[in-house]
Amino acid sequence: MKILIATGIYPPDIGGPAQYAKGVEEAWKKEGHEVKVLAFRFERKLPTGIRHLYYFLRVLFSLPGTDFVFSPDTFSAALPALLACKLFGKKLIIRTGGDFLWEQYVERTGDLVLLKDFYVTRVNRFNRKEKTIFSLLRLLFHYVDATIFSTAWQRDIFEKPYTLNLTKCFIVENYYGEKEKSLLPKTAVLPLQRENKIFVGGTRELKWKNIPRVQEAFAKVEKRGVPVSLELQTGSHDKFLMDIESSYAVILASLGDISPNTILDAIRLGKPFILTRETGLYEKLKDIGVWVNPEDTSNLAEKIEWLSDERNYEAQCAKVRAFTFTHSWEDIAGEILTIYRSH
């Protein structure tokens, strides 16, 4: 089988779609399929519209002989891929990650609206560009052959505003890897031997990531004399994994995170975590996580201080170690192929 992966980003780029594209590519190649990845290159320097047209032409010339196109994207790569697929009569399967429109709106306005409330309360505030994106995304979801969500939580948020045809919507869970062996040098100092307990919150500096509230919560805890600090710097994915392993814990308190890879990486590395309640991972991880209201800095501070107590910390570590669910790239690639063959 010949498969084309249409993606805006690909390693060494950092981000969920990049890791997803690489993961399924390698799994399909192991099974003997011919796989081509078409990632953005020169397009990155082009304005919206021209970028889409240029990428459309690249996809178009890559389609002959292709069985189907897979895109871990819902706007930048998926829209031009859809048009090319319709012209050639090829199937397109997309996988949603975050919510491009919501992220753009929050970044533009600074309006810290929760993802679950966005389409209920903010559609009438869209500017012309956002209205256009909204309309294009509705067309995309209507005309693709299948849409994959990693959580039912996001599918349910999207169902009404995008008038989803649920017979073409599928849940394929994110990648849950085996527990990792240590990535650190043997001389590395263990987190509990450190006086300062470092929480990794490494993330892009976007408004929906809610970083100022997290920083405010840490400042409150530090004023109480608790030895904690927040680490926000990020580098390569491998470097980030080592940062997680050498940390005390991981924290994400965004306004909406579908199935954040940072948390799944923390679990693989045996690290306890504090996570926003506004996530599609809650049902899966509710027994092993520490959950926070991202709009309440006092709640954030309370949970940071609670996890800083080493008795609570050890209990959470034990819960994370006991979590044994895995969902490999081979599993994911196989489920996508099943969807292709049934639609």
Average pLDDT over every residue of 9-22: 88
Average pLDDT over every residue of 141-148: 97
Q: What is the pLDDT of residue 187?
A: 46
Q: What is the pLDDT of residue 15?
A: 80
What's the topology of domain 2-175+327-342? Answer: Rossmann fold (3.40.50)
Three-state secondary-structure class, residue 71: strand
Q: Are 294 and 282 in contact (CB under 8 A)?
A: no
Between 83 and 191, whose confidence is greater?
Answer: 83
Average pLDDT over every residue of 11-16: 83
Six token digits for residue 204 = 């892009």
pLDDT tens digits along 229-256: 999 876 677 778 888 999 999 999 999 9
Q: How far is CA 215 from the centre of its chain?
A: 22
- The residues near 325 (Cβ < 8 Å, ≥ 6 apart) are 176, 284
Q: What is the pLDDT of residue 110?
A: 97
Average pLDDT over every residue of 183-193: 50
Six token digits for residue 182 = 């240590």
Q: What is the pLDDT of residue 343?
A: 78
Domain boundaries, the chain: 2-175+327-342, 191-322
Q: What mean pLDDT, rounded, does the chain reach?
A: 93
Three-state secondary-structure class, residue 231: strand
Q: What is the pLDDT of residue 184?
A: 56
Six token digits for residue 21 = 């594209």
pLDDT tens digits along 162-187: 999 999 999 999 999 998 776 555 44
Answer yes or no: is pLDDT of 60 > 80: yes
Answer yes or no: is pLDDT of 191 > 90: no
Answer yes or no: is pLDDT of 19 > 70: yes
Between 13 and 326, whose confidence is greater?
Answer: 326
What's the topology of domain 191-322? Answer: Rossmann fold (3.40.50)
Model confidence at 192, pLDDT cuts 50, 70, 90, reads very low
Helix (H) or strand (E) holding 249: strand 249-252
User: Do 2-175+327-342 and 191-322 show the same overall fold?
Assistant: yes
pLDDT tens digits along 117-140: 999 999 999 999 999 999 999 999
The CB-side HSE value for 147 (13 A sphere, CA atoms) comes to 31
Sheet holding 228-231, edge to edge: 228-231, 197-200, 249-252, 273-276, 290-292
Six token digits for residue 143 = 């005309």
Three-state secondary-structure class, residue 128: helix
Q: What is the pLDDT of residue 323?
A: 97
Model confidence at 190, pLDDT cuts 50, 70, 90, reads low
pLDDT tens digits along 283-296: 999 999 999 999 99
Answer yes or no: is pLDDT of 194 > 60: no
Q: Are 115 and 97 in contact (CB under 8 A)?
A: no
For residue 251, what is the DSSP state?
A: E
| Angle, in degrees to the nearest 10, between helices 310-322 and 297-308 | 90
Model confidence at 193, pLDDT cuts 50, 70, 90, reads very low
Average pLDDT over every residue of 79-107: 95
Q: What percent of the chain has pLDDT over 90?
A: 81
Q: What is the pLDDT of residue 7?
A: 95
Determine which of 61-70, 192-201, 246-255 has the lowest per-residue pLDDT on average: 192-201
- The residues near 233 (Cβ < 8 Å, ≥ 6 apart) are 202, 243
Six token digits for residue 115 = 């993802």
Of 168, 94, 114, whose CA–CA distance to 276 is shortest?
A: 114
Quickly tell me which residue has 């710097």 as its tokens: 233
